[in-house]
Amino acid sequence: MTKRTIIPFGPQHPVLPEPIHLDLVLEDELVVEAIPSIGFIHRGLEKLVEKKDFIDFVYVAERICGICSFIHGLTYCIAVEEIMKIKVPERADYLRTIWSELSRMHSHLLWMGLMADSFGFESLFMHTWRMREKILDIIENTTGGRVIFASAKVGGVRRDIDSATLKSISKSLESYKNELKEITDIFIKDSSVQHRLVGVGVLKKGQAYELGAVGPTLRASGWSIDTRKLGYAAYKNIDFEPVVETSGDSYARCVVRIKELFQSIDIIRQLAGKIPDGPIEIKITGNPDGEFFARTEQPRGEVIYYAKANGTKFLQRLRVRTPTFANIPSLVKMLPGSSLADVPVLVLTIDPCISCTER
């Protein structure tokens, strides 16, 4: 029998942007078991809801995660609005959807860069982030912030985008497509990328569902499940199909995210053409009383906001289940059988966001 070694991986590791710890049991170079451990950055943001006015809490909710900040704020707003039975003006719904898609694009580009970095393709990392900068510019020009949008509010949105700007955004994204294709083609076609991704960390179809995987991790294993199909915000008026790949390996997860980038451009184009005129927010009166599970699709997958209110201005409980939390079991099952050198790639392939996992 080969000797078994236990290698502690993380919380500090060059490839990890955020702290997760894995105890890897190795036989020679092969991982046979992995035990995850998180909890280095538990901030207790869920507890903070008992001390903050439910309208002000949206600023805290946005700061749960730095990358998908807008969708966190949006989901919180949806949860409170559903409890209070508020119908948000249609224009606000459209603007929310546009910003959701922009944040999905910048998150996917960030992930692609980090992924290139994890398999040692530094120049590809630089080029991907050069592309990401253009999305960040659009975001800054419409919301004022680069990653923290501060644009969602209970009852609508805080800023409007005028129609001339919307048209120019949708036009510039069309020309952006070609430039983007040049970069994404490297991920899809290049032999050195394929060498590191194809067949690595295969998650079978049944396994992915059983482990409760969400988002691109689930869709790369052949499931057409996308929370956007629930039709929250303006997604009900948009024509799109979830991106599905069937091979379930790291390459498939990469391809799903790349196709989603182009899908997002298409969704923004549809939205910019359909957006109605009108008010962007409605006035909130009274306090929430009741409970609701709000579900939306983040770049990383489905996020759940459970809000429970008792008629005061402080919510009784806010529970956030972030997509990375649901994807950790899949990661643990992906690792056995892969070699130690592939562990960084596999950890990144679920797009881990540990800070929002622990809130």
Partner 1 sequence: MQFFVMAKTVLKSLFRKPATVKYPFGPKMLSEFARGSISIDISRCIFCGMCQRKCPTGAIVVTREEKTWNIARLKCITCGYCVEVCPKKCLQMSNQYTEPMLTKHEDLYKNA
Partner 2 sequence: MTEDQRLIDIKIDELLEKVIGFHAAGYRLVQIGCTKTDVLEINYSFDKDYNFVNLRIVIPSVDIEIPSVSSIYWSAFLYENEISDLYGIKIKNMAIDYKGNFYRTTVKYPFNPQNTGSSGEGIPS
Residue 175: which H helix or E strand, with range?
A: helix 163-189
What are the φ and ψ backbone dihedral angles of 340, each rounded to 5 degrees? -60, -35
How many other CB atoms sit within 10 Å of the CB of residue 269? 16
The residue among 16 and 38 lying less far from partner 2, judged by its C-beta, is 38
Size of the site for partner 2 (CB under 8 A): 43
Q: Which does 123 bind (CB under 5 to 8 A by kind): partner 1, partner 2, none?
A: partner 1
Name the one range near partner 2 by CB under 8 A: 147-155, 167-175, 269-277, 300-308. Answer: 300-308
What is the residue type of 79?
A
> How remote is the C-alpha of 98 from its chain's centroid?
15
Site string for partner 1, 158-187 (x = CB under 8 A): x-----------------------xx-xx-
The residue among 143 and 330 lying less far from partner 2, judged by its C-beta, is 330
Contacts of 131 by beta carbon, 8 Å cutoff, 6+ apart:
109, 176, 179, 180, 183
Shortest Cβ 93–partner 2 spacing (Å):
11
Question: Does residue number 60 form part of the binding site for partner 1 (CB under 8 A)?
Answer: yes
Question: Does residue number 269 form part of the binding site for partner 2 (CB under 8 A)?
Answer: no
What are the φ and ψ backbone dihedral angles of 234, each rounded to 5 degrees? -100, 10
* Under 8 Å between Cβ of 246 and 222: yes
Size of the site for partner 1 (CB under 8 A): 28
> How remote is the C-alpha of 276 from its chain's centroid?
27
Shortest Cβ 252–partner 1 spacing (Å):
16
Name the one range near partner 1 by CB under 8 A: 56-64, 286-294, 323-331, 351-359. Answer: 56-64
Site string for partner 2, 9-38 (x = CB under 8 A): --------------------------x-xx
3-state DSSP call for residue 166?
helix
Taking CB under 8 A as the criterion, the residue among 4, 47, 130, 181 binding partner 1 is 130
The residue among 38 and 265 lying less far from partner 2, judged by its C-beta, is 38
Concatenating the DSSP letter of every residue in 68-132 gives SHHHHHHHHHHHHHHHHTPPPPHHHHHHHHHHHHHHHHHHHHHHHHHHHHHTT-HHHHHHHHHHH
Residue 90 CA to residue 131 CA, distance in Å, equals 31
Question: Does residue number 143 form part of the binding site for partner 1 (CB under 8 A)?
Answer: yes
Taking CB under 8 A as the criterion, the residue among 4, 47, 205, 313 binding partner 2 is 47
The residue among 60 and 147 lying less far from partner 2, judged by its C-beta, is 60
What would the two tokens of residue 90 be? Answer: 């249609």
What is the residue type of 185?
D
Q: Which does 29 bind (CB under 5 to 8 A by kind): partner 2, partner 1, none?
A: none
Site string for partner 2, 214-233 (x = CB under 8 A): -----------x-x-xxxx-
What are the φ and ψ backbone dihedral angles of 166, each rounded to 5 degrees? -60, -45
What would the two tokens of residue 260 be? Answer: 């989603």
What would the two tokens of residue 218 be? Answer: 């689930």
Q: Is the dihedral of CA 50, 56, 61, 63 positive or negative?
A: negative
Taking CB under 8 A as the criterion, the residue among 28, 56, 122, 289 binding partner 1 is 56
The residue among 181 and 205 lying less far from partner 1, judged by its C-beta, is 181
The maximal CA–CA distance of the chain, rounded, in angstroms, is 72
Shortest Cβ 129–partner 1 spacing (Å):
9
Taking alpha carbons only, the member of 69, 227, 49 closest to residue 143 is 69
Which spans of this chain sit near partner 1 (rule: CB under 8 A)? 52, 56, 59-60, 63, 123-124, 127, 130, 133, 137, 140-145, 148, 150, 158, 182-183, 185-186, 189-191, 194
Which spans of this chain sit near partner 2 (rule: CB under 8 A)? 35, 37-40, 42, 44, 46-48, 50-52, 78, 82, 209-212, 225, 227, 229-232, 292-293, 295, 302, 304, 306, 308, 310, 316-317, 319, 321, 325-326, 328-330, 358
